[in-house]
Amino acid sequence: MNNKEYLERGRFAPSPTGRMHLGNVFSALLSWLSIKAQGGKWVLRIEDIDPQRSRMEYADLIMGDLEWLGLTWDEGPFYQSERGEIYEAELQKLTARGLTYPCYCTRADILATQAPHESDGRVVYKGTCRNLKPGTHSGPAAVRMRVPEEGEGIVSFVDGHYGEQTVDLTTQCGDFIVRRKDGAWAYQLAVVVDDALMGITEVVRGRDLLLSSPQQIYLAKELGFAPPRFTHLPLLCNTEGQRLSKRDRSLDMEALRSRFEAEDIIGLLAYKAGLQESPNRVTAEELVAGFDWKKIGCEDIEF
């Protein structure tokens, strides 16, 4: 048995807010292939921390679709909704060190502070509530993680596909939320804690989450965890250059399963990724031996 099976651990962590679409399948496939090519284990985690949008029936559909595609998992499923006490304990460690603070700002408040040149849709929190005196405000508050002062929050890492990345957390991200105003756990905290405690060594996901990586690296180190390796993928886009989403019903798994076999979908995605020279029918298992990140381009892929 390959000893790497115990060392390399990847994961797929979908949010059960709708049926998977082709872009989700693409991420799952490359995550699965990458870790299997290393002889590792693939962990399934259901990120159902948004109580308003998460549905168990979607989680069941996701798992059924993964099995139908041949993307079977070695451990899990683990549900984030059942891990609140773990997140609370880690949050208290940060709070005890003065690394968090309550934030009473609304989204409208935050948008009003954005400079005119910040037109790429990214919202950078300016620290309005960072130094509020206790008792100044009342009512529901989010909890934010402090990032270092400008020039001191530089995070550099090597992405497994896009290479060297350097981000200034202060100017490009700002203090970020670790618990929402409604009490729900924020993505950044939950994912960092879970990746660490589940022993995840490799995270493969779409390049739209590239800016999340330096935040997660910073948070992991503040919690005393070793961050995983990050590898980001080109996005699947429609003919207008828009990222595929769960609104693209013609490309969700319900529609796809009514028209194609699993091997057709895997073959087409493998072809689009550069893993085979034609969109021939193929199983995920058959792609493992020839998998190589160098075959995959960096430009987004049109569907």
Task: Give the residue with greater pLDDT, 139 vs 15.
Answer: 15
Q: How far is it between the farthest Cα atoms of the chain? A: 65
State the pLDDT at residue 119.
42
- CA 241, 245, 249, 252 torsion-angle sign: positive
Tell me the percentage of the chain whose pLDDT exceeds 90.
82
State the pLDDT at residue 246.
64
Before 77, cis peptide (omega within 30)?
yes
- As a whole number, the mean pLDDT across the chain is 92
| Mean pLDDT, residues 204-211 taken together | 95
pLDDT tens string 213-253: 999 999 999 999 999 999 999 999 987 778 877 666 668 99
State the pLDDT at residue 114.
67
pLDDT band for position 2 (cuts 50, 70, 90): very low
| Mean pLDDT, residues 189-203 taken together | 98
| Mean pLDDT, residues 261-271 taken together | 98
Residues 198, 192: contact at Cβ < 8 Å?
no
pLDDT tens string 6-40: 589 999 999 999 999 999 999 999 999 999 999 99
- Number of helical H runs and strand E runs in the chain: 10, 12
pLDDT tens string 88-133: 999 999 999 999 999 999 888 887 776 544 445 678 898 999 999 8
Q: How far, CA to CA in Å, does 275 sit from each of 34, 51, 256, 267, 300?
A: 12, 38, 21, 9, 15
Tell whether the model's pLDDT for residue 164 goes beyond 90: yes
State the pLDDT at residue 56.
97
CA distance linking residue 85 with residue 75, whole number of Å: 21
